[in-house]
Structure 1
Amino acid sequence: MTTICVDQPATDARAWAASVTMAATVFTVVTAEMLPVGLLTPLSDTLHITEGTAGLSLTVTGIVSAVASPVLPLLLGKLDRRTVLSGLMVLLAVAAFVAAIAPVYSIFIAARVLMGISIGGVWLFTVSLARRVVPEHAAGPATSLIFSGIGIASVLGIPAGAYVGELVGWRWAFVGVGLIALGLTVALGIFLPNLPPERAIRLADVREVLQLKQVRVGLVLVALIVTGHFAAYTYIRPLLEPHTGPALIGTLLLAYGVAGVAGNFLTGALRPARALTVIAGGIALTALAMPVLGTTLAGSLVLLVIWGLAYGGTSVSTQAWGHAAAPSAPESSSAVLVGVYNGSIALGAFTGGQVADRVGTTTVTWLPAILATAALLVLLANRRERG
């Protein structure tokens, strides 16, 4: 009895340390992926490109992540997941250091390709591993904790990158990401247990999941909401700067991020369909109001807080939808969901960039208004069909 009393807390502590480490890992890859958002103007100035072209760095990363998410489990299916995650973080560190020293845009894009491979793998494997590193009764909270890394990246990562960019230059923001990634490589090796794959994913498993109607509906919702969001959010810095000045961009992004973390837990507590209705409605209303009310510092702040509250729960809610639609195939459903999610980031950044360069940055908010409204229509039609 004495042994049990002493050992059990240590086991629980190690389990939660593993969850926190994976949350930090998600935080780091999301920060790396989104870093150009807060650095778009200085990055475009240094590399002598337009802001729309700079935004394509998110497109490239999103496309590679979308491909890597379903492909990596097929290629690495027999490897221990702890080894895989550690290797992916080393790759992220190398990519971040290359981005930091890139003398021209082509080398910067090559670094973003490497980041995309790491990001796609980390997103997928951490989602499916949450329930394996903690006791069964704690699987839900552990999953929410790991997904909070996404919201916390908005709170700390992106604004911190913007602040670093203002103080010492955008390249040092990527150096910081590389150093954090190396530290997490060590932490993953210490805190994660051996995690052999439960069963390697086959192409047949992915095809089988895609045959489920509610999985397909969920993928459509992800595509509409995430594409719309990133069509505008990628260009939030040039959108806000004329009204707020560059010095306050980090503060505004911080306000958005804090609201995003709150939204992560508030909407994450709702049923997936209801949560996604709130998310899509909030994004649509905020996007419609931005050209009118976002022309002052106070208006921009209020709208960014509402936007953060609305979008913050997207990752948790879409994962919950996918797990409810395919409860017997969590890793396969996560693979296709993460693939579409990252592909939608790419499509949103690309579409927003085309609009920003051809029509003007102030018009990009129409894209989330239209696409989020379309998502509401899909949710309404699905609810009627299911009765």
Structure 2
Amino acid sequence: MSVTIDQAATRGLRDALPALLSLALASCLAVTTEMLPVGLLPDLGAAFGVSDATTGLLVGLYAVMVAVFAVPLTMVTSRFARKPLLMATVAGYAVSNAAVALAPSFAVVAAGRTVGGLTHALFFSLLIGYTPRLVSRALVGRALAIAGCGVSAGLVLGVPLLTSLGAATGWRTPFAALAVAAVGTLAWIGAVLPGVANTSETGAREPGRRGRLVAVSASNMLVFIGHFTAYTFISLLLIGSGVDAAFIGPILLGCGACGLIGLWYAGRGLDRNPRRTTLIILCVTMIAVAVLGVAWPVMAGVLAATAIWCGAFGGVPSLYQACAVRTHAVSPERAGAWVNATSNVGIAGGSAIGAALLETAGLGVLPWVAIALIGAGTAVVALSRNAFPAQP
């Protein structure tokens, strides 16, 4: 079955719901695969006799693949049939997680993560481009919200639950479970997701607007670098404050739930005053990280600050995605690829900076470096009124 352009123009959410939910499950799988090593970092390092700093680079390696290949892969594959290509990315997640679960050495773990990173580089561009072709134009926003809710589900449920599973049964089990989940997701997509017309890119490219996209991308990159300088090692920060390793998963679950508040606030404010919403969320993020730096290693303060930090940051990705698309510098799909790429430059850079600081200055300095970088990204927002306008 295939959905033509004319059919999509009259298609409602009810008709498209099974397909949209299959995309939501795939996005949950994608984010869980990307972020799972954060919760299992100490166990992974101990299993192969490598330092926590080196193990933390697994997050960075994955991110490097996305940062380097997101835009080129989106361009190179623009003429390929959408459904087979999307299914190939889901199969890539199955291969990646299976390789990590069965890895006899740390090098094989790194290779498996490289496969996952290449997959991730293409997946979200496909998701953003596929979803609008399933429904009428008036329903595109809600359709994207449904398809993208898997990102929140991965952060709120996927990563914390699998982290807890790893604490109970060993670090290999969560990756094996993700490989099985990827196969199931692949089967569901094959059954319910219709093919769509592979139309050529028609995004507007208006003169003078590329600078706005540069500003959005630069701010996004700086904020993500700052966030992941500290967040890559959040399990170590929590353990260092006295939290038992068995409670890392439940704590991340609670922090992920707090992230839904930030996501709700961002979604509500972006259609009213994008500039004010962006500045408020970034300022709250900086304040929370500052409190973490002051409180560490006192457990109560660390837990409270982490909850607020994760709550505010839950809205950050949607801020930059929406502002990038609204620059109208390139097509929405290409704008999404740039945000995806710079986000992962931030993840890679942040994990590398955090790893270097962990070896030289210790855990306590990570929040302060994070604040400086997030502050730089916030300054770009404050100075770029056209890229982050008061009116959408």
Using structure 2 for the length normalisation, give the TM-score: 0.90
Contact 2:74 2:334 in 1 (8 A): no
Q: Within 2, Cα distance between the matches of 1:384 and 1:186?
A: 44
Query: Percent identity at matched positions?
Result: 26
Alpha-carbon deviation of 1:328? 6.0
Q: Which residue number corresponds to residue 350 of structure 1?
A: 352
Secondary structure of 1:13's counterpart equals helix
Deviations 1:44-93 (A, max 9, x none): 00011111100100111001012221122233222221111111111110
Q: Compute the displacement of 1:161 (Å).
A: 2.0
1:18: how far off?
Answer: 1.5
* Structure 2 unpaired stretches of 5+: 1-9
Structure 2 residue identity aligned to 1:237: S
Secondary structure of 2:217's partner? helix
Q: Is the 1:209–1:332 Cα contact (8 Å) retained in structure 2? A: no
What is the aligned partner in structure 2 of residue 267 from structure 1?
266
Q: Go from structure 1 to structure 2 and tell me whether the alpha carbon gap of 1:194 and 1:364 turns closer, same or farther (over 3 Å shift).
A: same
1:244 partner SS = coil
Secondary structure of the 1:332 match is helix
Among 361, 364, 372, which residue is 2:363 paired with?
361
CA distance in 2, matches of 1:293, 1:211: 43
Take 2:97 and 2:208, find their aligned partners in 1: how far apart are those partners? 34
Q: Which residue of 1 aligns with 2:46?
A: 45
Distance 1:11 1:144, change over 3 A: closer
TM-score (norm 1): 0.91
The 3-state SS of whatever aligns with 2:384 is helix
How do 1:1-387 and structure 2 match up within 5 A? 12-199=13-200, 212-242=210-240, 243-271=242-270, 272-326=274-328, 329-383=331-385
More helix per residue: 1
Matched to 2:375, the amino acid is T
Amino acid at match of 1:36: P
| CA deviation string 1:141-188 (max 9, x = no partner) | 222233322222111111112111111111111011111111111111
CA 86–182 in structure 1, closer or farther in 2 if over 3 Å, else same = same
Q: What RMSD, in angstroms, separates the aligned Cα atoms of the two structures?
A: 2.4
Q: Structure 1 residue 339: deviation in Å?
A: 1.2
Code of the residue aligned with 1:231 in structure 2: it is T
**TM superposition shift of 1:212:** 1.1
Aligned amino acid, residue 334 of structure 1: G
The answer to which of 265-274 and 245-254 deviates more is: 265-274
5+ residue gaps, structure 1? 1-8
Contact 2:291 2:301 in 1 (8 A): no
Residue 132 of structure 1 and its aligned partner are, at CA, apart by 1.6
Which stretch has the larger CA shift, 307-316 or 191-200? 191-200
Provide the rounded CA distance (Å) in 1 between the counterparts of 2:17 and 2:193.
10
SS across alignment from 1:383: coil
**Cα deviation code 1:200-220 (max 9, x no counterpart):** 59xxx8998996111011001
SS at 1:295 equivalent: coil
Give the C-alpha shift of residue 275 in structure 1: 2.6
Contact 1:94 1:178 in 2 (8 A): yes
How far apart, CA to CA, are the structure 1 residues paired with 2:308 and 2:296? 12
| Amino acid aligned to 1:235 | F
- Residue 67 of structure 1 aligns to which amino acid in structure 2? V
Instruction: Please give the secondary structure, in 2, of the residue aligned with 1:370.
Output: helix
Instruction: Give yes or no for contact 1:279–1:311 (8 Å, CA) kept in 2.
Output: yes
